Amino acid sequence: MGAAIELTGISKRFPGVVANDRVSLTVEEGEIHAICGENGAGKSTLMKILYGMLMADEGRMVVGGKEVRFRSPSDAIDLGIGMVHQHFMLADQFTVLENVILGDEPTRSLGRIDFKKARAHLDEVSKSYGLTLEADELVENLSVGERQRVEIIKVLYRGAKILILDEPTAVLVPQEVEDLFRNLRELKKSGATILFIDHKLQEILAIADTITVLRQGRTVATVKPKDVTAADLAELMVGSELPTPTKVGSTVTDRVAVEVRGVTVLDADERPVVDDVSFEVHHGEILGIAGVEGNGQAELVDALVGTRTVSRGQVLLKGEDATNWNVRRRREAGLAYVPQDRQREGLLLVAPLWENVALGHQTRPPFVKGIWFDRKGARARTEEVRRDFDVRTPNIEVTAHSLSGGNQQKLVVGREMASEPEIFIAAHPTRGIDVGAQAQVWEDLRQARAAGMATVLVSADLEEIIGMSDTIVVMLRGKIVARLDPDTVTPRDLGSYMTGAHLPKEAG
């Protein structure tokens, strides 16, 4: 078997960025080839070039032994290359069959769609690739995993033998990832070649036959999974050793920064989603809140920052009863926060980056001079955040919308940390960002902790919770069901408290 694809010296520049810098990539026929790298490494750009969506500035592409030059995706499709994008492009109100044939309908006389023929072809494709789907189900009734399967079938239906999947696991829960991997292995067995973008190391090692690592637009290595560890891969991705979340010593003081007393938050049906929760966070302390998502952490964070009403109990900030304070007042008292949903709560997507960095901080320096909003100050601060948190963008005048998810997250975390808060409420601060940026956030948290910042850290990343926290509490069904010592607890233990497999020993 020969190479299905050979790319040599591919370069692509965008204003201010070299997205691909003389990249080379060889994909053997019938293999699963993973492309990995940090956010902004140039993975999507390279795949879009291969799919004819973007034209390379330089370089050679050889597909099936022949040099090609694609002017549009239809040229790529003609050569059997198909792409499943990061964001699905399905019509919800249509059935699976209608979605699959959309744009490629077999017609009978007078241009009428030949559904019988389409259905037969769909059946044949589903069967030969072992992908099951209900052809007449409406897409809106499908789970995310099933929608993704529709996208894959749609590509196969058009005769693709080379499949490109751009971060397909980003939207899936672990169970769905397993299903996807099973499907991909089946596809491979029936002769497909698969290009697969991912940045989760364990997933890559589990599925790939070959791995190509991109860093800052360049190919840094092509390796076999059996020859590398997850740590090796991470090192290749970031160019240095894998950073781990750790803290050194204790900086916990005896001054209480946040006190939560018997706080209860009710949902629309008057059921407690946060149920009589109490804890204290001292200056210089990181309190980690662990829990399976949906056990009240998000609502607790809202109650702490002032975006949700507390039904019973009190929130005290630096000794003052802040239970009924609005967000502005809490911010002015020295609180900063990273919201769970950065797109909805944390950013004005249509506004430029520098306005976003001023967001929530407009009333204090460097954003005001006298009584006026200080654009110069805001821009200078934004440049700082951009540099310190490695926000990849051509300039700070672009809208937040144009940043990738990871870069949006870095902007929000950077903005909040740059205000040098005394109290920091961080919901999943490192979610969706690459290892390099994660390490930056951890380092900033450590430094701020040493300087006396009190942190409430909500995270689904158990390594992060254990590594960074001075104290861990576990939330389950709105209650705190355990208080654990991060120096002795294992991720496994923590997991069983989170699911309730442990009987709570110390309820708080």
Q: Which of 39, 297, 419, 455 binds ligand ADP (CB under 6 A)?
A: 39
Least gap, CB of 28 to ligand ADP (angstroms): 22
Binding of residue 469 to ligand ADP (CB under 6 A): no
Q: Tell the smallest beta-carbon distance from residue 207 to ligand ADP (Å).
A: 18
Q: Which ranges of 62-173 would DSSP assign to H, the alpha helix?
A: 73-78, 96-101, 115-129, 144-157
Length of the chain: 508
What b/e sequence results for 20-47 when a residue is b if at least 16 CB atoms lie within 10 Å of its CB, and e otherwise? bbebebbbeebbbbbbbbbbbbbbbbbb
41 scored as a contact of ligand ADP (CB under 6 A): yes
> Binding to ligand ADP by residue 432, rule CB under 6 A?
no
Q: Closer to ligand ADP at the Cβ: 37 or 436?
A: 37
| 3-class DSSP state of 231 | helix
In the complex with Mg ion, the residue whose CB is nearer, 18 or 256, is 18
Smallest distance from Mg ion to CB 214, Å: 10
In the complex, which residue's CB is closest to Mg ion?
Answer: 44
Identify which of 330, 349, 415 has the alpha carbon closest to the alpha carbon of residue 378. 415
Helix (H, G, I), strand (E, B) or coil at 495: helix
Q: Among the candidate windows 43-51, 61-69, 152-160, 360-368, which touches ligand ADP by CB under 6 A?
A: 43-51
Of 44 and 340, which CB lies nearer to ligand ADP in the complex structure? Answer: 44
Q: How far is the CB of 150 from ligand ADP (least distance, A)?
A: 23
Q: Tell how strand 218-223 and strand 210-215 pair up.
A: antiparallel
Axis crossing angle, helix 435-450 with helix 405-418, rounded to the nearest 10? 10
Only segment of 14-22, 201-209, 272-280, 355-363 that touches ligand ADP (CB under 6 A): 14-22
Positions 366 through 395 that interact with ligand ADP (CB under 6 A): 392
Query: CA angle at residue 164 from 62 to 105, to 5 degrees?
Result: 100
Q: Which stretch binds ligand ADP (CB under 6 A): 11-19, 112-120, 241-249, 447-455?
A: 11-19
Q: Which stretch, 13-21, 352-360, 453-461, 469-477, contacts ligand ADP (CB under 6 A)?
A: 13-21
Contacts of 345 (CB under 8 A, 6+ apart): 307, 339
Using CB under 6 A as the binding rule, whether residue 44 contacts ligand ADP is answered as: yes
CA–CA dist 282, 471 (Å, integer): 11
> Which listed range, 41-49, 369-377, 438-446, 472-480, lies at the site for ligand ADP (CB under 6 A)?
41-49
Residue (of 402, 49, 397, 445) closest to 245 by Cα position: 445
Helix/strand/coil for 92: coil
Pick the piece of the chain touching ligand ADP (CB under 6 A) from 32-40, 120-128, 360-368, 441-449.
Answer: 32-40
**Is 43 a residue that touches ligand ADP (CB under 6 A)?**
yes
Supply the minimum distance, in Å, between the C-beta of residue 90 and ligand ADP.
Answer: 22
Indicate the residue among 419 and 430 with the shorter CB distance to ligand ADP.
430
Measured in degrees and rounded to the nearest 5, phi and psi for residue 460 equal: -95, -5
Which of 11, 45, 148, 419 touches ligand ADP (CB under 6 A)? 45
409 binding ligand ADP? (CB under 6 A): no
In the complex, least distance from residue 19 CB atom to Mg ion, rounded to whole angstroms: 10
Binding mask 443-462 for ligand ADP (x = CB under 6 A): --------------------
Choosing from 4, 23, 32, 40, the residue that interacts with ligand ADP (CB under 6 A) is 40
Does 215 contact ligand ADP by CB under 6 A?
A: no
Q: Is 357 in the site for ligand ADP (CB under 6 A)?
A: no
Cβ 168 vs Cβ 137: under 8 Å: no
**Which one of residues 5, 11, 40, 44 is an interface residue with Mg ion (CB under 5 A)?**
44
Q: Which helix (H) or strand (E) holds 468?
A: helix 462-468
Residue from 42, 82, 288, 291 binding ligand ADP (CB under 6 A): 42
CA dihedral of 428, 433, 434, 437, whole degrees rounded to 10: -80
Nearer to Mg ion, 44 or 169 (CB): 44
CB 59 within 8 Å of CB 5: no
**Relative orientation angle of helices 144-157 and 174-189, to the nearest 10 degrees:** 20
Distance between CA atoms of residues 476 and 36, nearest Å: 35
Q: Which does 14 bind (CB under 5 to 8 A by kind): ligand ADP, Mg ion, none?
A: ligand ADP
3 state DSSP class of 323: coil
Beta strands in 240-311 (DSSP E): 256-266, 272-282, 286-290
Contact between 17 and ligand ADP per CB under 6 A:
yes
Does 19 engage in binding with ligand ADP (CB under 6 A)? yes
Q: Which stretch binds ligand ADP (CB under 6 A): 12-20, 244-252, 348-356, 464-472?
A: 12-20
In contact, 194 and 187? CB cutoff 8 Å: yes
Q: Which two tokens stand for residue 43?
A: 């993975």
> What token pair was written down for 352?
């430029």
CA atoms within 13 A on the CB side of 58: 10
Residues of the shown chain interacting with ligand ADP in the complex, contacts defined by CB under 6 A:
14, 17, 19, 37, 39-45, 392, 404
Residues of the shown chain interacting with Mg ion in the complex, contacts defined by CB under 5 A:
44
